[in-house]
């Protein structure tokens, strides 16, 4: 048998063990390289859980740009839609709509509660409160229920209240404002898991909703994989530009090199 002498340890190691070790090392390196390679839109489309996890790691501004480049339309909510504390999340939309109606019906909002209790983990609760900028569409009780069911977050086209509880449990909410009012006795549940418009943006059940400190973007489910891949490319370009600008002290040269602004 061929042997190689390792003089430092003054012992002999069979050549096949060295070859096997080198092969294992190369295989491990190849595995790491493959794991870091960007995935295709088809791969994301075939794995919804992996796709939504990838959305959690891409910037919302890049998602917004990708939507505009691919769909040529606006899918971001206005500057009025703000977080109660800095947060980042993504998930599939669970939609609810309330309509304004004075009532004494104890069951007027029961459909809203049923929708929460039937929501899947990772859902984003998206609510339209008709003319509700000064009406709290949700508060601590609903937020605690969503938190307990492992929702990703909530987006309310209306107000929000009970911030101490929501901040205590760390449940992220974007809303039009903070108000102490209630929807009880003033609103009625209209529908759940039907298409709605939230802060001017159409949202269908199952659409991807992604949010960070820049705002909220809704991605139509049928285009979500394609848009994710484009957003990842935009993220990579922008993050590559930061050190380039710092090194060469020129944003013009960076834009010429990377073609991104």
Instruction: Give the tens place of pLDDT for each residue, 58-90.
Output: 999 999 999 999 999 999 999 999 999 999 999
Would you say 210 and 33 are in contact if contact means Cβ atoms under 8 Å apart? no
Low-confidence spans in the chain with pLDDT less than 50: 1-11, 13, 16-21, 23-36
The pLDDT score that the predictor gives to residue 32 is 35
Return the number of other C-beta atoms located less than 10 Å from residue 72's C-beta. Answer: 7
Instruction: Count other Cβ atoms within 10 Å, centred on residue 127.
Output: 27
Beta bridge partners of 173: 154
What is the fold, at CATH topology level, of the domain defined by 76-219? Glucose Oxidase; domain 1 (3.50.30)
Q: Where are the domains of the chain?
A: 3-34, 76-219
Which DSSP letter does residue 76 get?
A: B
**Tokens in use for 206?**
């199952």
Residue 82, beta-bridge partner list: 175
Alpha helices in 110-153, H assignment, sequence order: 110-117, 140-148
Whether the CB-CB separation of 128 and 157 falls below 8 Å is answered with: yes
With 0-12 / 13-18 / 19 or more C-beta atoms within 10 angstroms meaning exposed / middle / buried, residue 144 is middle
In tens, the pLDDT along 22-52 reads 544 444 443 333 334 679 999 999 999 999 9
Phi, psi of 232 (to 5 degrees): -65, -40
Q: What is the pTM assigned to this prediction?
A: 0.83
Predicted local distance difference test score (pLDDT) of residue 9: 46
Given the DSSP bridges, would you call strands 123-129 and 153-160 parallel, antiparallel or unpaired?
parallel
Amino acid 2: pLDDT: 45
Q: Which residues contact 256 (CB under 8 A, 6 or more apart)?
A: none
Q: Which two tokens stand for residue 105?
A: 């019906």
């Amino acid at each position: 048998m061929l042997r190689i002498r390792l003089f430092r340890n003054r012992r002999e190691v069979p050549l096949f063990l060295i070859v096997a070790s080198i092969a294992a090392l190369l295989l491990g390196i190849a595995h790491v390289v493959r794991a870091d390679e960007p995935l295709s839109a088809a791969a994301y489309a075939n794995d919804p859980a992996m796709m939504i996890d990838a959305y959690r790691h891409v910037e919302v501004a890049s998602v917004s740009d990708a939507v505009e480049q691919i769909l040529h339309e606006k899918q971001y909510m206005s500057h009025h839609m703000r977080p109660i504390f800095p947060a980042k999340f993504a998930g599939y939309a669970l939609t609810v709509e309330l309509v304004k109606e004075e009532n004494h019906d104890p069951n007027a909002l029961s459909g809203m509660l049923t929708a929460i209790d039937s929501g899947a983990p990772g859902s984003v609760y998206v609510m339209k409160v008709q003319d509700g900028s000064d009406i709290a569409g949700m508060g601590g009780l609903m937020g605690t229920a969503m938190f307990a069911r492992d929702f990703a977050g909530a987006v309310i086209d209306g107000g929000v209240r009970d911030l101490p509880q929501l901040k205590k449990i760390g449940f992220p909410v974007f809303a039009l404002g903070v108000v102490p009012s209630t929807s009880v006795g003033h609103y009625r549940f209209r529908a759940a898991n039907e298409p709605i418009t939230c802060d001017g943006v159409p949202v269908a059940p199952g659409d991807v909703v992604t949010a960070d400190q820049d705002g909220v973007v809704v991605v139509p489910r049928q285009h979500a994989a394609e848009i994710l891949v484009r957003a990842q490319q935009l993220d990579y370009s922008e993050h590559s530009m930061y050190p380039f600008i710092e090194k060469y002290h020129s944003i013009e040269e960076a834009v010429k090199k990377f073609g991104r602004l």
